[in-house]
Amino acid sequence: MPMVGITRLDGERLRFDTEEGKPLFWDLRQVVSSDRVAGELHVEIRSEPHPAPALLLIVEDPDFEEMLDSRRRLVTTGGVATLQLQFKRIGIVGLILLLVVVVPLSYFAFTDGSEAAHRLISIEKEKALGELVYKSLMKDLEICEDEALSAFLDRAVDELQETDSPYDCSVTVVRHEEANAFALPGGRIVMYSSLIEKCDSPAGVAGVLAHELAHIEQRHGLRQLLRSLGLLYFAGMVVGAGFEELETAETITEVGALLVSLRYARDHEEEADAIAILKLRRAKRDVGGIADLFKRLSEDHGLAALEHALGWLSTHPVTEDRIAAFEKADKEQSPETQSWLAEGVSWEDYQQACAGPE
């Protein structure tokens, strides 16, 4: 039996107020199709329970079609109805343009474009993300607290960090047989004890720190994370209310594991190397330490095997060009170079400070 009333949108529902004043509601997902016929919008609605005869809602408001289509796009999750709706509106020419223009742009958005989304993320949000990941990772790692070693690392960070840096960077040393170091978004650097043991001098550790500080200050970790995930919704979430959607042990662990194992892009590595050299030179500190580390490992394992020799090098891959750049910088080193060691302190003491179990 036909009924007369007023149709309007009510959230994710269609609302129909009858002349008797009793409203009827249909979920927008029940809308099968909407077609304009002789100036009227004919909306076909699937009745509940299904199967049942479909209902036909006739709307005379000329603006209702656009409002209905827009709202349906927001709530339709199946994809099929949305695709049918859009194909009906754009036709074959529009579909071709969609494939030629939108698909490549979408690919860019989910790769390079997603990395560029880091500009939308505030430093505060980045720090919050880093702290969540740090706390999750530390649950499975043994922190080494040696006063003398910590003082050396803190002094190195203070000297090498940019004076106008928005980050308050710090180093945590953990006991681990794998030689590794990584920087988290927001300023945390984690260094494994085995990497300290592998370095022949404090200059090697300082070179690694300079490199990791460059990654932090250039937001390489965040940018690589966004690019690897390829999901702009992640950036939108971080820009938005906060990290409530991330704060589950499983999700944070997955993000942390991804950050630790993430291989930096070549341009990020080259940029971090160049900045590290500038940092060391500005502080009048030895540039050759990290070059010595690379050369020693190359001699011990061969360049091709380096990525398997050190965890740090699996995420910071070494090339002949990188080694050559540090060797060149070492030869150009100023004679004013200072030593990292305090008077009367042995580097071997630092190397053994966190070696093995307590």
- Answer yes or no: is 98 within a domain: no
Q: Tell me, what's the pLDDT at 154? A: 94
What is the C-alpha separation between 216 and 205, in angstroms, rounded?
17
85 in a structural domain: no
Q: Which of 77, 92, 127 is the last residue of a domain?
A: 77
Q: Are 18 and 4 in contact (CB under 8 A)?
A: yes
Which domain covers residue 69, as residue numbers?
A: 5-77
User: Is 331 inside any structural domain?
Assistant: yes
Task: Please report whether residue 223 resides in a domain.
Answer: yes
Confidence grade of residue 299 (pLDDT, cut at 50, 70, 90): low
From 46, 77, 108, the end of a domain falls on 77
Query: Distance between CA atoms of 64 and 81, rounded to whole angstroms?
Result: 18
The tokens of 138 are what? 């530390």
Judgement on whether residues 154 and 68 belong to the same structural domain of the protein: no
State the pLDDT at residue 83: 47
340 pLDDT exceeds 80? no
Tell me, yes or no, if the pTM score tops 0.85: no
Average pLDDT over residues 31-50: 79
- Do 203 and 325 belong together in one domain? yes
Check whether 204 has a pLDDT greater than 50.
yes
3-state secondary structure 57-75: EEECCCCHHHHHHHHHHHH
Q: 6-15, 276-285, 301-310: which has the highest mean pLDDT?
A: 276-285
Cβ-Cβ contacts under 8 Å for 118 (sequence gap 6 or more):
219, 222, 223, 226, 235
- 214 lies in the same domain as 66: no
What mean pLDDT comes out for the span 329-344?
71
Helices (H) and strands (E) in the chain, counts: 17, 10
Number of domains in the chain: 2
Residue bearing the bigger pLDDT, 69 or 256: 69
pLDDT at 60 over 60: yes
Instruction: Clarify whether residues 71 and 131 are in a common domain.
Output: no
Give percent of the chain above pLDDT 90. 16
Asked if residue 251 has pLDDT above 50, the reply is yes
**Shared-domain flag, residues 167 and 26:** no
Domain boundary among 23, 53, 77: 77
For residue 108, being part of any structural domain is answered with no
CA–CA distance, 242 with 237 (Å, rounded to integer) = 7
Quick one: 123 and 201 in the same domain?
Answer: yes
Same domain flag for 223 and 336: yes
Residues 249, 130 share a domain: yes
Same domain, 64 and 182: no
What confidence score (pLDDT) does residue 189 get? Answer: 96
**Phi, psi angle pair for 174, to nearest 5°:** -120, 150
> Does a structural domain hold residue 106?
no
Q: Does residue 215 lie within any of the structural domains?
A: yes
The CATH number of the domain where 52 resides is what?
Answer: 2.30.29.30
Angle between helices 288-301 and 202-217 (to 10 degrees): 110
One domain for residues 235 and 311: yes
Residue 163, Cα to own-chain centre: how many angstroms? 25
105 is a domain residue: no
Paired tokens of 165: 């840096």
When pLDDT is cut at 50, 70 and 90, the band that residue 212 belongs to is: very high
- What average pLDDT does the segment 331-348 reach? 72
pLDDT at 94 over 80: no
The verdict on 324 and 275 lying in the same domain is yes
Give yes or no for residue 6 having a pLDDT over 60.
yes
Is there a single domain that holds both residue 39 and residue 164?
A: no
pLDDT in tens, 148-165: 899 999 999 999 999 989
